[in-house]
Amino acid sequence: MRGASCANGSRSGAGSTDCASTFQQPGLAWRAVASVLAIIAVLGIVNNSTTLYLVGRYSQLRTPFNMLVVNLTVSDLLVCVLGTPFSFVSSLKGRWMFGRAGCVWYGFINSLLGIVSLTTLTVISYERHQMMKRPPNAPKLSYRWVALSVLFVWVYSLLWTVPPLMGWSSYGPESHGVSCSVNWVSRTANDTSYIVAFFVGRLAVPVAVIVVSYTRFAYFSTLMSTLTENAAVTILSRDPAGLFE
């Protein structure tokens, strides 16, 4: 199974099955990287855990829209817990320390949670755009819609991250040797086709939706603000019955 290989073409070397032996780059620079990763992980765990605590503690925060924020928070928290420790330890040593299986796991879980975060942001941007367009008497955002949206986010993310485990491209060590990801540098048809599809489905489409949604959101916000100001000017100009004297 290619997804279980550390090799990028021949990245693990002849007869080698250990990712940790592929790179040897210890030094002060990697310790600095490890320190930054540790700070990011600690802040991420504290901030995201605090957000989840507050939502769980105060029922008024458990609105349908905030459940989308909770999904984003969970994915960010899981990155700090399930992914960052691997790259932190490897950065301290200057080389990947968790073997082939750990490399595949790290590449998979970081890709999965990264797509979950970006797709959740896409759904949030779309819903904000819809909120601005929605008439006052229209049905509000429901928990059912949010639940289906969250389900879609995770299924969509799995559809992009499981294929490298099944043979369409693979997960392996990156060039610096302290983390793992999709096989970006290979030029085979198998890897290239996945990378092209990956960028279109994971990056281009979500970013396009976000840009269009927030552009239209800004347009509607400006329009509503202009209409409100015009209405206020009209009322002031009439000054009925000395109301503003």
- pLDDT score, position 6: 47
- pLDDT score, position 238: 60
- pLDDT score, position 1: 44
Other C-beta atoms lying within 10 Å of the C-beta of residue 244: 9
End-to-end distance of the chain based on CA atoms, in angstroms? Answer: 82
Cα R_g (the chain), whole angstroms:
24
Can you tell me whether residue 180 is helix, strand or coil? strand
Asked whether the CA dihedral 102, 104, 106, 112 is positive or negative, the reply is negative
C-alpha 174, offset from chain centre: 20
**Do the domain assignments include residue 244?**
no
**Do the domain assignments include residue 116?**
yes
206: containing domain: 2-212
Count helices and strands (H / E) in the chain: 8, 2
Cβ(176)–Cβ(206) below 8 Å: no
**Do the domain assignments include residue 241?**
no
**Do the domain assignments include residue 234?**
no
Q: What's the predicted TM-score (pTM) here?
A: 0.79
CATH of residue 17: 1.20.1070.10
Q: How far apart are CA 94 and CA 33, in angstroms?
A: 10
- pLDDT score, position 202: 87
**Do the domain assignments include residue 107?**
yes
Domain total of the chain = 1
Q: How far apart are CA 96 and CA 80, in angstroms?
A: 18
Residue ranges of the chain whose pLDDT lies below 50: 1-25, 242-245
**Do the domain assignments include residue 88?**
yes
**Do the domain assignments include residue 159?**
yes
C-alpha 165, offset from chain centre: 20
**Do the domain assignments include residue 161?**
yes
